[in-house]
Amino acid sequence: MAPRQQLHDLLKTFGAAEVYFQAPSQDKMVFPCIMYNLDDEFAAYADNTPYSRISKYQVTVIDRNPDSQIRGKIADLPMSSFQRFFVVDGLNHTVYNLYF
């Protein structure tokens, strides 16, 4: 199984109504949800050849509840770091960087 699919399956266990990699338009989203996208990729090289790669994802929890339990589950993942928090149209967005 591809690492992105493994991440998707893991995020689905955190209690969100939906998990989106390619999110639909805002009016079709179901809340609370987790939205994530590929943000960067790190490669380690030896002899000009990559021998190790790790992907960086931007993971956003969108919930009406500012104290969402989903946030803590993502924050507890290894290689996860808080990025920012903002509110749009009464929906709380908590953004994390996650290497997976």
CATH number at residue 11: 3.30.2000.30
Q: Which pLDDT tens digit goes with each residue over 40-65?
A: 999 999 998 988 889 999 999 999 99
Q: Which two tokens stand for residue 33?
A: 């949800």
Q: Domain limits at 64?
A: 3-99
Looking at residue 15, its amino acid is G
Q: Which two tokens stand for residue 38?
A: 């590929």
The residues pairing with 55 across neighbouring beta strands, listed in sequence order, are 41
What confidence score (pLDDT) does residue 1 get? 59
What confidence score (pLDDT) does residue 21 get? 95
Considering the chain, what is the average pLDDT of its residues?
Answer: 94
Number of domains in the chain: 1
Helix (H) or strand (E) holding 84: strand 80-88
Angle of CA points 31, 29, 87, to nearest 5°? 60
Q: Give yes or no for residue 26 having a pLDDT over 80.
A: no
- CA dist., res. 69 & res. 4, Å (int): 23
As a whole number, mean pLDDT of residues 73-84 equals: 97
